[in-house]
Amino acid sequence: MGLTKSEMFTEEQNEISNIAKVFGHPARVAILQHLFKIDTCICGDLVNEIGLAQPTISQHLKELKKIGLIKGNITGTSVCYCIDKANWTAMKKTLHLFLDQDLQDNDICCS
Amino acid sequence: MGLTKSEMFTEEQNEISNIAKVFGHPARVAILQHLFKIDTCICGDLVNEIGLAQPTISQHLKELKKIGLIKGNITGTSVCYCIDKANWTAMKKTLHLFLDQDLQDNDICCS
DNA sequence: AACATTAATCGTAATATTGCAATATAATAA
DNA sequence: TTATTATATTGCAATATTACGATTAATGTT
């Protein structure tokens, strides 16, 4: 069916997968890396930077904005985007909790 | 179209998004958390643990195995799965590089 | 006002993902 | 050999995602 019943899973599991889903497209990774690199806000040059059409970039930006990782300010006819630092830090904390679980060494069958 | 041309992006961007895509489903997050929790290898009880049908779980395990995060050993009629520690560590390194980028404070428009 | 610029939204086609019933495969037990 | 048990694979339907042309909305410029 393709229907994921979110109530089947814990809030943490849904949160992690929702974050990961946003990182699950190279264009969005590229957008975020660019926002980090230029160290300041960015307007429409993402369309030139990444080789995708303007509506596509706009759609990816919407996804990133929806989950709160970026925010945008309107300045004239263009919109400046940047990383939402507080939310980025919070997101990192959630992911680290999952990624940095202890790796015990008591393999029984997978040695 | 839905076609992502991977050659449009850097190897790093594709690697990050491929890893993230695997975490982008709560069932796979749940499987990994369970593998961590029981601290040892696991066989078929995932189907009972998570509320999905056996073929569905098997499919998710295949995704996790494909990217190398888990490995499985056949023991009798059942298969034991566990985290591939080396690959998990390598994956973490890749993600940390991306997640832990410096957050400068020179916002111009997004203050 | 008329035009230009920039970004968002709509509509739609192509593709990918998810879930499961049915079936296949493999190992063991009787 | 014939069940039995456990997992994988196949096939398919439902849904989600991605990409982009066309259009719209908002602002700025002349």
B50, part of any domain: yes
Residue contact B95–A98, C-beta within 8 A: no
Residue A2 has pLDDT above 70, yes or no: no
Q: Which two tokens stand for residue A70?
A: 């970026």
pLDDT of res. B41 = 64
CB A91 within 8 A of CB A83: no
Residue A104 has pLDDT above 90, yes or no: no
Residue contact A25–B8, C-beta within 8 A: no
pLDDT of res. A107 = 57
Partners of residue B101 in chain A, C-beta under 8 Å:
33, 36
A97, part of any domain: no
B100, part of any domain: no
Residues with CB under 7 A from strand D: A 1-3, 21, 24-25, 27, 52-56, 59-60, 63, 74, 76-77; B 1-5, 43-44, 47, 54-55, 58-59, 61-62, 72, 77-79
B102, part of any domain: no
- B39 three-class SS: coil
- The share of chain A scoring above pLDDT 90, in percent, equals 70
Task: Measure B3 CA to C16 C1' (Å).
Answer: 9
Q: How many CA atoms, within 13 angstroms, populate the side-chain half-sphere of residue A87?
A: 12
Task: Measure A77 CA to C3 C1' (Å).
Answer: 15
**Bridge partners of residue B22, in order along the sequence:** none
Residue carrying structure tokens 């059409």: A53
CB B29 within 8 A of CB B23: yes
- Domain of B90, CATH number, reads 1.10.10.10
Q: How many beta-carbon pairs below 8 A join chains A and B?
A: 154
Nearest to B81 by CA among A102, A106, A111, A110: A110
pLDDT of res. A3 = 46
A78, part of any domain: yes
B30, part of any domain: yes
Q: Which nucleotides of C are covered by protein (CB under 7 A)?
A: 4-11, 13-22, 26-28
Q: What is the pLDDT along chain B (111 residues), one digit of tens a residue?
A: 444 566 799 999 999 999 999 999 999 999 999 999 886 667 678 998 999 999 999 999 999 999 999 998 887 888 889 999 999 999 999 999 999 998 776 556 665
Per-residue pLDDT tens over the stretch A4-28: 566 899 999 999 999 999 999 999 9
Counted domains in chain B: 1
B2, part of any domain: no
Residue A30 has pLDDT above 60, yes or no: yes
pLDDT: which is higher, A51 or B42: A51
Partners of residue A56 in chain B, C-beta under 8 Å:
none
> Domain limits at B45?
10-95
Per-residue pLDDT tens over the stretch A66-97: 999 999 988 888 999 999 999 999 999 999 99
